[in-house]
Amino acid sequence: MVKLSSYERCQIGLDFFEFLNETKRTFITDRIQLRDIYNAEFRSRNPGTKDPNFGSVLYALKVCNKIKRRKDNILFTRSVRAQYVDQWRTPRTQQSQPELSRSASIEVLTDFCSAEEATTGVRARRKLASELMSKLKVERYLSKLIADKHGINITSDCPFENGKLVLCVENTYEYTVKLNMENTGTEPVYFTYYTPLHWLQNLTLHDKNRVTRLKPVLLNPGDFYEVEVSFRSSLVGVFPATLAFEFKPNLDPATTGFLILRIIEAHCITSLGMELAPVAPYKPRSLPAWTPEPDCKIVDGLPPEGLSVMQLQNVVQLKQYRIPPYMNQLIKVLKQPLLSNENRKVLESPLTWENYTEKFQLLLYLEELQMEFDIRRYNIPNDDREYAELKRVQSNPRLLDLEVPGVSENRPSVLRGDSLLMYPQGEKKVKYCGYVHSVQLDSVRLGFASELLNRYMTGKDFSFIEGIKFNVEFTINRLTLRLQHRAAELARSYKLGCVLFPSAPPFSCQKPDLPKLKLFDYQLEKNPEQYQAVQHIVAGSSRPAPYLVFGPPGTGKTVTVVEAIKQIEKTQETCHILACAPSNSAADLLCSKICEHVDQYNVYRMYASSRDPKLVPERLKACSNLSGDSYIFPPKEKLMEYKIIVTTLITAGRLVSGAIPSGHFTHVFVDEAGHAVETECLVPLAGLLDAETGQLVLAGDPKQLGPILRSPFALKYRMGASFLERLMTDFPLYQKNEGVYDNCFVTKLLRNYRSHPSILKIPNERFYDGELQACADEYSRNLYYTWEHLPKQGFPVIFHGVAGIDERESSSPSFFNVTEVEVLMDYVRKLLESQGKKGVAKIAPKDIGIIAPYRKQVQKIRKALEKVGKEFKFKDLNELKIGSVEEFQGQERRVILVSTVRSSPRYLDIDKNFNLGFLKNEKRFNVALTRAKALLIVAGNPLVLSADPNWASFIQYCKEEGGYSGFTHAQEEEEEIIARLSALYISIEAEIETTESVVQQILDPEWRSDM
């Protein structure tokens, strides 16, 4: 006999319980009686198979928490009994079961069925389901199964469409449907059997004669027979049931019967859910390739004046790096697995010092080509707008306003000094370039050439322009790409090989003495990992190799970096430090913390001229290059006087262009290094860092999200791996040796100061070797420890099972799940209503964050929150942040709610291949679960999520700890259920091929707004 796992033996035990249920013997608790029934009736009832012995099945049930054993009494748990309620009876006719009693015996009920009669049970259902699924997979003949045949028609009060009946059950969450079987043929037919293909809680089936294969009903020509399907639920969600009906022309066992399937799908929905339903059926849009007209004349516009005062001379050339013609041919080659050329060989080769520049420049070109396609989504006309109009600016008649919905969310990103093209509809020979003078909430202020203004001006009045319909073309800002191209070239000329491909020092090399330091932040002295990291950075123990600060969520990597910068500034008189981060917000945080203990005249915060002056923090203006509304770039000699310069990675390119000599900066720090592509991280290094004497420090977490890329080929060839991740993945220097890191090169921070231990547990085990220690302040982390709506008091984590569907609407390919929105809004209401009840702290909207992986789900949640906000007039819900995981990276909230969206296994490959959504993307999973300080609530479909090992472990953890709520499913093989759902309930709609990236279509990420 094949050895079975505990899980498989547990499934057999659950089959046995259902057998007891079918034969009305669930009241029996005596172990000996149960063993005898198992051996005599159940174990060998299928010819050719024999189940394992009763003792091993009983042990498996106990291990899996399906029974409780008290001496010789066996009690199946309440959850098991609830899953196997009698689905063949309506609540009105169902008899009450006898109470469990130790003295209960087999004689208590005299009308139980024999084993032979129980042919409608779980095994028959699974066998039928398995046969149907194998046919569906091979023959794809669902249409044949749902078709009426041999004169038998199955109809209902509500019409079926392609064998499927969709019922929208608003607010009541219950329905009853009568299915009528009519013999319209000329020969009698026997109705022999019917069953759902999988158990569905709260579904009951009833027919007058209780049809089974042993009790069939004869349908003569013209006869009707009725089956009543009743459903009742306390949950919102989508509950599909596939019913199989079996018929035979006669009762001869050798006669082959035939099947007819019907699908009933109940949408239990609130009035809020009705408002969020798809506004129109999803119809994929094509994005036609755009080619500029060869004879098109572009009239240059009016650039903004005074954005910057450039005293820093541009000495080092920044070339254009235009996309070479061979790139289009390369893309054609990459799309064909069997084709090859030299550039493809470079891309497919491992990254080396020899191919470093060439490979990264190819990847940059691929990404730029995809960006050019993706930006066209915002061109006007589009699906939302047929044309654009320009409006006069009263305060400055030479400027015009263009409405651009989404610009405040960087979709698209438009910065001061950027340009776009406009031309009147119907005209193509002349396009007018407009320069961005300022960005408003949902509009941009543009400066055009007088040639455009004069066309629509009468005297001094050009109000006539407001009636003209324009087309708009957006363009990408190539400066960031050009700087990265140059950095990839300069890396070679400045011989940064030992920094980019570090090797271990010879064994004879002595480890440096670590200095004893008195830290500015005395709290760090209590943290041995942070203190040790600062010591090694100050001592330069890794030089010339980079030093890595591996900072898991909430472990204080930024304060560690800042402390190291302060110590170097204090102890090394000749030092010059360049501190960088990918974003302005991260650079501002660095600068603010540095200025707490370093004199401001030693610190210089250098912004790009495109940065909106309103976004510069007041506390940093005095030590920045902002003067009024202009940015000053001092001469090289003045910049070299500062001990510490803080800037973004890209803006550090100004220092390279200004010919700040290599080696001037003794130290280069990059915070949040995992967020940037490698060539972006290269910008402050190539041309500025001396490979032998300089010290590079990278701080970040390779287990969290990296940079957003759009090109599928850039993703495929690892451009999405940051410099930090590449070092930790590819170089033994930065990997554990016998379970520990070499602290001369890398320090892993271990103390988490953010989250409740229950929130931290799964990410800690899955990604950080279980080494993280929960050190958050007890008061703040326990604020929701006793919240009344927790499934289990003391466990501030909830997984709420949701049976929804992932939908799309109109021409937007991004997904949303209305049921999950309804569930999350219920929790938001409960949070805002709590307000200090039962010892729970008051909460403001700004303390709550809602994370969703897809852009459309974010929009649906915002719309729902507007309605909920009307119920709480005293609260400003605009402060409740809703966004993607990327938008929450580096942030934290007291309470985090997560919508996972996915309810269909069909799209899992899309998510996996393009790093979308939560499934198959462990970094997105990790970031989402580690933002919460005191309460984490996740809504999702447990069946689909469990296909991912990370989610499976999280869901199981919530079940074991008592934090599971909402929709549950019967203990069947989940893969079988998923397969049935995907084959039976999902119709494959035709996708239109488009040049727009899948990342853009589904995630619609923010465009870069930092320079």
Q: How does pLDDT run across 710-721, given as a tens digit for each residue?
A: 898 999 999 999
Of 37-51, 159-173, 378-392, 630-644, give the range with the top mean pLDDT.
630-644
Q: How many helices (H) and strands (E) does the chain have?
A: 32, 38
Mean pLDDT score, 949-958? 94
Task: Work out the average pLDDT over 16-21.
Answer: 83
**Burial of residue 262, with CB atoms counted within 10 A of its CB: 0-12 exposed, 13-18 middle, 19 or more buried:** buried
Judge whether 719 lies within some domain.
yes
Q: Which residue has the tokens 């008899």?
A: 95
Instruction: Report the pLDDT value the prediction gives residue 528, as an integer from 0 to 100.
Output: 96
The answer, yes or no, to whether residue 289 has pLDDT greater than 80, is: no
Of 214-218, 405-409, 692-696, the least confident = 405-409
d(CA 974, CA 977): 5
CA distances from 270 to 85, 825, 850 (A): 27, 11, 20
Domain boundaries, position 158: 122-269
Spatial CA neighbour of 798 closest among 670, 700, 934, 658: 934
- Region label for 769, one of left (φ > 0), alpha (ψ between -120 and 50) or beta (otherwise): left
Q: Considering only 17-21, 309-313, 848-852, 955-959, which range has the smallest mean pLDDT?
A: 17-21
Which pLDDT score is estimated for 887? 86
Looking at the structure, tell me whether residues 579 and 727 fall in a common domain.
yes
The token pair at 86 is 């009698």
User: Cα(934)–Cα(895) distance, rounded to whole angstroms?
Assistant: 6
| Closest to 246 measured CA to CA, from 127, 402, 96 | 127
The pLDDT assigned to 428 comes to 82
Residue 190 has pLDDT above 90, yes or no: yes
Q: What is the CATH number of the domain that holds 189?
A: 2.60.40.10
pLDDT in tens, 196-240: 876 666 778 889 998 988 899 999 999 999 999 988 888 888 888
Residues 842, 702 share a domain: no
Better-predicted residue by pLDDT, 737 or 49:
737
pLDDT given at position 460: 62
Is 900 part of any domain?
A: yes
Closest listed residue to residue 15, CA positions, set 48, 63, 73, 54: 54
724 in Cβ contact with 548 (< 8 Å) = yes
pLDDT band at 985 (very low <50, low <70, confident <90, very high): very low
Q: Is the pLDDT of residue 65 over 70?
A: yes
Q: Are strands 630-633 and 626-627 parallel, antiparallel or unpaired?
A: antiparallel
pLDDT of residue 462: 61
Give tens-digit pLDDT for 752-811. 999 999 999 999 999 999 999 999 999 999 999 999 999 999 999 999 999 888 898 887
pLDDT tens digits for range 840-873: 678 889 999 999 988 889 999 999 999 998 888 7
CB 468 within 8 A of CB 424: yes
63, part of any domain: yes
Q: Which of 374, 378, 373, 434 is nearest to 406 (CA)?
A: 378
Examine residue 768 and state whether it is found in any structural domain, yes or no: no
pLDDT tens digits along 328-382? 899 999 999 888 899 999 999 999 999 999 999 999 999 999 999 888 888 998 8
Residue for token pair 């209401």:
829
Residue 557 has pLDDT above 60, yes or no: yes
Residue in this structure with the two tokens 């919460």, named with its chain if needed: 932
Lowest-confidence range among 594-608, 647-661, 987-1001? 987-1001
- Confidence at 126, pLDDT banded by 50, 70, 90: low
Closest CA to 782 of 764, 795, 772: 795
How sure is the predictor about 839, in pLDDT bands with cuts at 50, 70 and 90? low
pLDDT of the residue at 400 = 92
Residue 825 banded pLDDT, cuts 50, 70, 90: very high
Same domain, 31 and 130: no
Asked if residue 193 and residue 74 are part of one domain, the reply reads: no
Query: Highest mean pLDDT range out of 17-31, 266-280, 356-370, 859-873?
Result: 356-370
User: How buried is 584 (Cβ within 10 angstroms: 0-12 exposed, 13-18 middle, 19+ buried)?
Assistant: buried
- Say what the pLDDT of residue 140 is: 53
Based on the number of CB atoms within 10 Å of its own CB, is 667 exposed (0-12), middle (13-18) or buried (19 or more)? buried
* pLDDT level of residue 838 (50, 70, 90 thresholds): low
Coil, helix or strand at residue 215 = strand
User: Average pLDDT in the 512-533 region?
Assistant: 93
Q: Is residue 307 part of a domain?
A: no
- Domain co-membership, 664 together with 712: yes
Q: Is there a single domain that holds both residue 657 and residue 793?
A: no
The verdict on residue 453 lying in a domain is no
Of 269, 289, 315, the domain-final residue: 269
Q: Are residues 939 and 860 in the same domain?
A: yes
Residue 170 neighbours by CB under 8 Å, 6+ apart = 269, 270, 271, 274
In a domain, 489, yes or no: no
As a whole number of angstroms, the distance between CA 303 and CA 435 comes to: 5
Q: What is the mean pLDDT of residues 960-986?
A: 59
Q: How many domains does the chain have?
A: 4
Query: In the prediction, which pLDDT does 768 show?
Result: 97
Q: Is the predicted pLDDT of residue 142 greater than 80, yes or no?
A: no
Instruction: Give strand ranges (E) for 101-188.
Output: 152-156, 164-170, 174-183
Residues 136, 88, single domain; the answer is: no
Residue 946 has pLDDT above 70, yes or no: yes
What is the amino acid identity at position 648? T
Question: 78, 100, 118: which is the final residue of a domain?
Answer: 118
Mean pLDDT of the chain: 85
**For residue 2, what are the contacts with CB-CB under 8 A and spacing of at least 6?**
none
Q: Is the pLDDT of residue 22 over 60?
A: yes
Three-state SS across 647-702? EECCCCHHHHHCCCCCCCCCEEEECCHHHCCHHHHHCCCCCCCCCCCCEEEEEECC
Residues 717 and 822 in one domain: no
* Rounded Cα distance, 814 and 910, in Å: 12
Tokens 């269909």 correspond to 904
Element (H, E) at 412: none
Query: Do 97 and 128 sit in the same domain of this protein?
Result: no
Looking up tokens 């906000």 gives 869
Give the count of alpha carbons within 13 A of 571, CB side only: 18
Given a cut of 70, whether residue 159 has pLDDT beyond it is yes
The region of weakest confidence among 440-449, 519-528, 582-591, 599-608 is 440-449
Q: Which of 118, 146, 177 is at the close of a domain?
A: 118
Whether pTM exceeds 0.75: yes
Task: Give the bridge partners for 265, in sequence order.
Answer: 166, 240
Of 68, 63, 47, 53, nearest to 16 (Cα)?
Answer: 53
Q: Which helix (H) or strand (E) holds 916?
A: none
Nearest CA to 502 among 361, 698, 688, 720?
Answer: 698
Instruction: List pLDDT tens digits, range 574-632.
Output: 999 999 999 999 999 999 999 999 999 999 999 999 998 999 999 999 999 999 989 99
d(CA 249, CA 762): 57
**How does DSSP classify residue 381?**
S
Q: Which ranges in 749-877 belong to alpha helices (H)?
A: 757-767, 778-781, 818-834, 855-869
**857: domain CATH number?**
3.40.50.300
628: alpha, beta or left, given left = phi > 0 and alpha = psi -120 to 50? left
386 assigned to some structural domain: no
Burial of 338 (0-12, 13-18, 19+ CB in 10 A): exposed
105 with 134, same domain?
A: no
73 and 129 fall within a common domain: no
pLDDT of residue 505: 79
| Helices 356-374, 479-493: inter-axial angle, 10-degree rounding | 180
